[in-house]
Amino acid sequence: MNKEINQEMIEVSIPHRAEYVSLIRLTVASIANSMGFDIEDIEDIKVALSEACSNAIMHGGCDVGDNFLVQFMMEKASLTISVSDFGKGYDKNSIQEPKPGELNEGGLGIFIIKSLMDDVHIDTGSSQGTSIKMIKNLREES
Ligand SMILES: Nc1ncnc2c1ncn2[C@@H]1O[C@H](COP(=O)(O)OP(=O)(O)O)[C@@H](O)[C@H]1O
Ligand SMILES: [Mg+2]
């Protein structure tokens, strides 16, 4: 990102199909790399974004042709990624923290996202769909 610019945004509209997750992983790797994130952070961001996109594809689907949106907000010290679908939403209170020893294959995506990103906000409702916003801060150079 140009040093003179404080904020820049890229937005991508994606069909609800799993094959497009790899495209979005490549896109975010390129964006994060250009912002100066290290390899470890780039891997974390890719995993978190893949989980959010998988949720939009698997749970947030609606009519054919109705894409979901991924927005990348690049700032000097952070990358904020929003994944928004226009599906049926869900009840956030119904999602329970996984207990050690009771781990199932499913039901971990949101916890993985929260553990890998610095800040996560979810807005969801039956009339608005779901929007998950996740922020990763650039580490201070030492
Ligand atoms: N975008 C979404 N739209 C509707 N429901 C969602 C969405 N994202 C998550 N959910 C709900 O939250 C639950 C937990 O999501 P997650 O932690 O990723 O686990 P999993 O996807 O393996 O079920 C999902 O099973 C689904 O019911
Ligand atoms: Mg999931």
User: Quick check: 123 and 130 in contact, CB under 8 A?
Assistant: yes
Tell me the ligand closest to 108's alpha carbon: 1
Q: Is the four-CA dihedral 90, 117, 107, 86 of positive or negative sign?
A: positive
- Burial level of 111, CB count in 10 A (0-12/13-18/19+)? middle
| Residue nearest to ligand 1 atom 3, measured at CA | 60
From 59, 62, 122, mutation site for ligand 1 pocket: most ligand atoms within 8 A of C-beta:
59
| Ligand 1 binding pocket includes 50 (Cβ within 6 Å) | no
Determine if ligand 1 sits within 6 Å of the CB of residue 48.
no
Of 98 and 104, more confident = 98
For 123, the token pair is 């807005």
> Rounded mean pLDDT of 5-12?
94
Residue 139 has pLDDT above 60, yes or no: yes
Cα within 13 Å of Cα(109), Cβ side: 16
Q: Give dist(CA 67, CA 63) in Å, integer.
A: 9
Q: Which ligand has the nearest atom to the CA of 50?
A: 2
Distance 107 CA to ligand 1 centre (A): 7
Atom 20, ligand 1: residue with shortest CA distance: 107
Ligand 1 pocket, residue 95 CB under 6 Å: yes
pLDDT at 2 over 90: no
Dig out the tokens for 51 from the structure: 């989980």
Considering the entire predicted model, what is its pTM? 0.93
Mean pLDDT of the chain: 91
19-27: average pLDDT: 97
Domain extents for the chain?
7-137
Q: What is the pLDDT at residue 5?
A: 80
* Distance between CA atoms of residues 15 and 100, nearest Å: 35
> What spacing in Å lies between the alpha carbon of 88 and ligand 2's midpoint?
15
Domain 7-137 falls under CATH 3.40.50.720:
no
| Whole-number percent of the chain with pLDDT over 90 | 73
Q: Is 96 a residue whose pLDDT tops 60?
A: yes
